[in-house]
Structure 1
Amino acid sequence: MEQKSYFLLSFLLLALLLNLSSAQLRRNFYGNICPNVEQYVRNAVQRKLQQTFVTAPGTLRLFFHDCFVQGCDASVLLSSPTNNAEKDHPDDLSLAGDGFDTVIKAKAAVDRDPRCKNKVSCADILALATRDVIALTGGPFYSVELGRRDGRISTKSNVQNHLPHPTFNLNQLNTMFASNGLTMTDMIALSGAHTIGFSHCGKLSNRIYGFSRNRQIDPTLNPTYAQQLQKMCPRNVDPRVAINMDPTTPRTFDNAYFKNLQRGMGLFTSDQVLFTDSRSRNIVNFFASNNTAFQQFFVTAMTKLGRVGVKTGTHGEIRRDCSAVN
């Protein structure tokens, strides 16, 4: 009995510690510090989005990559003179420069107000900017919990095995998301962000040219869609050529991603498996049939994602420059 009580107590303490940081996040954290912070960020994001649409998927992907590696602490924004930061890892090299630039411009907009200068973390600015690109492309506008502080550590080695790959199956996806406190439903809802995403030819060549020893097209791919992809990504094309994740409404945050999965038009194996695997298919069908429900579940999942591994209180810092520790 004593051993069982000890393990129960240990579990409760761990749960308490995990919840402490998220409990310190709150929606009006900067109310008395920088009351107009959300407007400053939104205006900067809107201007950036008018310049290039890549702002939207670039910022959203940046937030995801940040939170899955060491938590939502803006460590992905840090630069290294020796190219040893998170963003130098192969899994992060494809992050769009416009995502980084969005945070830089939003940070500058916030710091122009003397009351706000160096009082709002880069991690919070990234979280707000992410919400804004979602809303500005037709997705839900939701309240963002704030109070994160910025991490001081960013190394390539920390990225290894912390981000999902295009070839992942459902078990691998569920395991990785569960390690961050996210359920399969959360994972599927967050995958819906690919409705405004883009990838590169190098990430899908195996599905359209070399799925098997016979060099066949991946049988889970819609044949017509596969032919379209082959035209956009011919053999020996520059692997950096960009392809929309959603071929139907690539600039609108909607549930078309899930409708595409029903038609065999998921760009990655890790997308299409959400429909081909019977364990997740019903959720895909539900989101495909109900955009409002998808957006509600997406907001819930994004809120949970925004709590992953956050630093609050006396942990971390508020960077003067988002790309360098103070």
Structure 2
Amino acid sequence: MNAVNSNKDEHKAGHVLIVGSLNMDLVGRAPRLPKPGETLSGTSFATIAGGKGGNQAVAAARLGAHVAMIGATGADSYGAALRAGLADEGINCSGITTRANTPTGVAMIIVDDASQNAILIVPGANGEVTPAAIKQHEALVATADVVVCQLEVPHDTVLAALQTARRLGKVTILNPAPVSEPLLASWLPEVDYLIPNEIEAATLSGIAVDSPQDACIAAQRLRALGARNVLITLGARGLVALTGEDMAHYPGTPVKAIDTTAAGDTFTGGFAAALARGASVHDAILLGQRAAAISVTRAGAQPSIPYLHEVEQTA
């Protein structure tokens, strides 16, 4: 792989389309997470570009792909800032619409001294990304090698994106977050790579995931439900991957974490970028893991995501 020294490098290969959310993150830090009804004094506050879709788009762009995005913002200062930030990363924003009467989505995040977080999302314009947007921007799907979705936009839109991508012969990735119940039976057969964390895997499979061994069982269950390949991220414990007929545990990289907010998005974006440029699944997983390990050593969502040359230096 060629080292990338900026997000405008002309030697990027592979095209990734992200269908998903754009949020402005309102991030407060405190010694610990508050209990219900409790008021705590925080230690800092920042306004940071985020949203799972936006995070994954930035990660894929910084880690070696040409990236386009389908999403929506409000006609407000948060929306303008988010679109400008994506454009600065070289991301094609032609699929991002502006909703005049709906605010940009926001996420209110509290991060404690142990680097754990609690997040409340108000979707705003993300809730108005409709299946019609997928049809309108089908040309973006057609030019992609890999199409990535999450669940912070309406579910019927996500399903439309996955179905359109499959019809056009694209690799599909679903990061099923947030999820509160199992997906309908028609969903998982549309997914080439399902990437849940341990909580999401438990929700989707009905199997508690408290160890890598549990994750292997959950992955097999999700395969039986239709997903072609399953990657279950386990935080510091690494990742379990069921790809083809192979099951493997990829241990985590020991680091001193200060903020885990965008770690999963960084992994997903990096994995997608590597697949799009023709890397093996094994190498794509390793790239995603190394990028995520760097991201947790930095504060914030998009500001924490590394560039490809930084990740290559850790190989």
Q: Which of the five TM-score ranges fits, normalised by the shorter chain?
A: under 0.3
Q: TM-score normalised to the size of structure 2?
A: 0.28
Q: TM-score normalised to the size of structure 1?
A: 0.27
